[in-house]
């Protein structure tokens, strides 16, 4: 009798064990399916989000209104204080072209404080700077990150930074997939700007590992990303560019600046 009872209990335990194993296996299979589905969906969600952002930007991309009586335009100052996208690229480029049409020899000051943005739109602004005759001075104020730093370094005039600015160079391009693929062309274009206009460490290339290199004004001056550090009160947004308080700005003659001056 005891043996039969023991066998019965063993069978019950075995059945219960099999049930538990079955439940765990089912849950594991469901979890694997969920994770796999999520991983496959993430790129699609990313593409959808990018498309949504672009559509919202384009929806507000009416032609910028330029008024000659604007105080900043009268003093030939242009502000880039937003993310770099198609809308801001159109607005900044229009203002640069407008000021160039008024006087193609008088310098324009472009003030940059941005978290960054789209590389192609940054190159729209860069190509405009290169196309117009008027020299464009760039000023990094506050925070000048990623696409903003890319625009900063391509000035056809002087490149300034205030004493407390933080700059960031972003190595976030895709790895090349072929000689004539978009990643290869984009990487060549992106790195070309930095190689031709600065003296960044060779260890920062190739710029495909998503690293973020933060620079102080002194480091930016050392790497020839800027030409001069100025006191914030001398940035020129509220008055002239005379040195305030008797302080002398820090300057460095860079090979890139020499090329621009020739």
The pTM assigned to this predicted structure is 0.70
Query: Which positions ≥6 away from 115 have C-beta within 8 Å?
Result: 83, 143, 145, 146, 148
Q: Which of 137, 89, 132 is nearest to 109 (CA)?
A: 137
* Residue 86 appears among annotated catalytic residues: no
Q: Rounded CA gap, 252 and 224, in Å?
A: 8
β-bridge pairing 211-215 and 77-80: unpaired
Q: Which of 164, 154, 157, 148 is nearest to 80 (CA)?
A: 148
153, 190 Cβ separation under 8 angstroms:
no
Q: Is 136 exposed, middle or buried (0-12, 13-18, 19+ CB in 10 A)?
A: buried
22 and 92 assigned to the same domain? no
**Residue 9 confidence (pLDDT):** 73
107 and 216 assigned to the same domain? yes
148 and 203 assigned to the same domain? yes
18 and 105 assigned to the same domain? no
β-bridge pairing 166-171 and 211-215: antiparallel
Overall domain count for the chain: 2
Q: What is the pLDDT of residues 219-254, one digit of tens each?
A: 999 999 999 999 988 777 665 443 334 455 566 554
115 and 15 assigned to the same domain? no
- Quick check: is 54 in a domain? no
13 and 113 assigned to the same domain? no
Ranges of residues in the chain whose predicted pLDDT is under 50: 44, 240-246, 254-262
* Residue 170 appears among annotated catalytic residues: yes
213 and 128 assigned to the same domain? yes
The proportion of the chain whose per-residue pLDDT surpasses 90, expressed as a percent, equals 50
Q: Which of 189, 121, 132 is nearest to 155 (CA)?
A: 132
30 and 76 assigned to the same domain? no
10 and 100 assigned to the same domain? no
- Quick check: is 46 in a domain? no
Q: Which domain holds residue 8?
A: 1-38
The proportion of the chain whose per-residue pLDDT surpasses 70, expressed as a percent, equals 71
- Quick check: is 53 in a domain? no
149 and 191 assigned to the same domain? yes
Q: Rounded CA gap, 225 and 197, in Å?
A: 7
- Quick check: is 160 in a domain? yes
- Quick check: is 55 in a domain? no
- Quick check: is 156 in a domain? yes
164 and 206 assigned to the same domain? yes
Query: Which positions ≥6 away from 257 have C-beta within 8 Å?
Result: 158, 159, 224, 227
- Quick check: is 50 in a domain? no
80 and 146 assigned to the same domain? yes
Q: Which helix (H) or strand (E) holds 4?
A: helix 2-59
- Quick check: is 166 in a domain? yes
Catalytic residue among 170, 198, 224, 254: 170
Catalytic residue among 55, 75, 133, 146: 146
CATH number at residue 166: 3.90.226.10
Q: What is the pLDDT of residues 33-64, one digit of tens each?
A: 776 666 555 554 555 555 555 555 555 555 66
């Amino acid at each position: 009798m005891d043996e039969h009872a023991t066998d019965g209990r063993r069978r019950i335990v075995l059945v219960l064990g099999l049930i538990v194993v079955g439940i765990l296996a089912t849950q594991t299979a469901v979890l694997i399916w969920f994770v796999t589905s999520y991983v496959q969906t993430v790129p699609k969600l990313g593409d959808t989000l990018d498309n949504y952002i672009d559509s919202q930007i384009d929806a507000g991309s009416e032609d910028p209104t330029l008024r000659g009586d604007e105080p900043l335009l009268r003093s030939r100052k242009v502000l880039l204080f937003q993310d770099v996208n198609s809308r801001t690229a159109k607005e900044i480029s229009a203002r640069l072209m407008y000021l160039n049409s008024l006087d193609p020899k008088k310098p324009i000051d472009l003030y940059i404080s941005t978290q960054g943005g789209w590389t192609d739109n940054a190159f729209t602004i860069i190509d405009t700077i290169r196309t117009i005759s008027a020299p464009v001075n760039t000023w990094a104020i506050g925070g000048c990150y990623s696409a903003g730093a890319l625009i900063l370094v391509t000035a056809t005039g002087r490149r300034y930074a205030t004493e407390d600015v933080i700059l960031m160079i972003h190595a976030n391009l895709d790895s090349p997939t072929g000689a004539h693929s978009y990643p290869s062309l984009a990487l060549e274009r992106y790195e070309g700007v930095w190689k031709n206009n600065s003296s960044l460490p060779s260890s920062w290339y190739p710029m495909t590992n998503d690293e973020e290199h933060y620079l102080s004004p002194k480091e930016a001056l050392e790497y020839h990303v800027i030409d001069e550090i100025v006191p914030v009160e001398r940035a020129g947004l509220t008055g002239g560019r005379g040195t305030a308080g008797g302080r002398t700005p820090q300057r460095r003659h860079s090979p890139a600046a020499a090329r621009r001056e020739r």
